[in-house]
Structure 1
Amino acid sequence: MDDESSIEDILDMIGDEHARTVLASISREPCSAKELADRLDLSQPTIYRRLELLEDYDLIKHRTLVADDGNHYKEFQSNFNSTVISLEDDEYDVRIFREENLPDRFSQLWDELGAT
């Protein structure tokens, strides 16, 4: 979210009712696109378009699973804990807070200490 256009794009995307509905659903429980379509009573193309948008902004992640019949499918889940959108001095600021893996956070801190 470094430039103004990406902030506006994220606000536009969050303004989309279907994107919000998809995001809310997978933040409660990871599921596949087919499960989302059934649960939310939306078409699969609508679901896939919103999932692609949410992935573009790194708000969701997926993992590939194998069904009992051997077919592969993706299970989607939220990639953040919370989002704060603020308006100050006529400028928007979007902050996305992610749950970090402790070993990854330690490595990042160690690297930052070594860089100084």
Structure 2
Amino acid sequence: MDEERSIEEILNTIGDEHARRVLAAISRNPRSAKELAGECDLSLPTIYRRLELLQEHELITERTAVAEDGNHYNIYECNFDSTVISLEDEEYKMRIYREENLPDRFGKLWDELGAESE
């Protein structure tokens, strides 16, 4: 999570009922905005506003899918497994756990090792 983002911003985002419904839906399976609107019983503009907010806080990812007829559309998926809020030294801290693939973990480890040797 970006250190500049405050815990309040993240909590406000996931505190929104519509945002939570969207997250719950895409945590099971990636969905398009149209599918989310139907499943969550929300208008498309409401869905798009929540998707934008969730993307802003890096809680979801967007990717392009291709339909059988060749048309392209975006699908959204949750990009974290869990969150933990802790109280340390009279300060709340939030950790978002993401499932990273092996190449990403190796690259991050390599970067950290390089930074330590400088």
TM-score by length of 2: 0.87
Q: Residue in 1 aligned with 2:86?
A: 86
Q: Residue in 2 aligned with 1:29?
A: 29
Paired residues for 1:1-116 under 5 Å:
1-3=2-4, 6-115=6-115, 116=117
Flag structure 1 segments of 5+ consecutive residues without an equivalent: none
Structure 2 residue matching 1:77: 3-state secondary structure: strand
Aligned sequence identity (%): 69
Flag structure 2 segments of 5+ consecutive residues without an equivalent: none
Question: Aligned-pair distance for 1:63?
Answer: 0.8
Structure 2 residue matching 1:58: 3-state secondary structure: coil
Aligned CA RMSD, in angstroms, stands at: 1.6
- How many angstroms apart in 1 are the aligned matches of 2:111 and 2:88? 33
Residues matched between the structures, number: 115
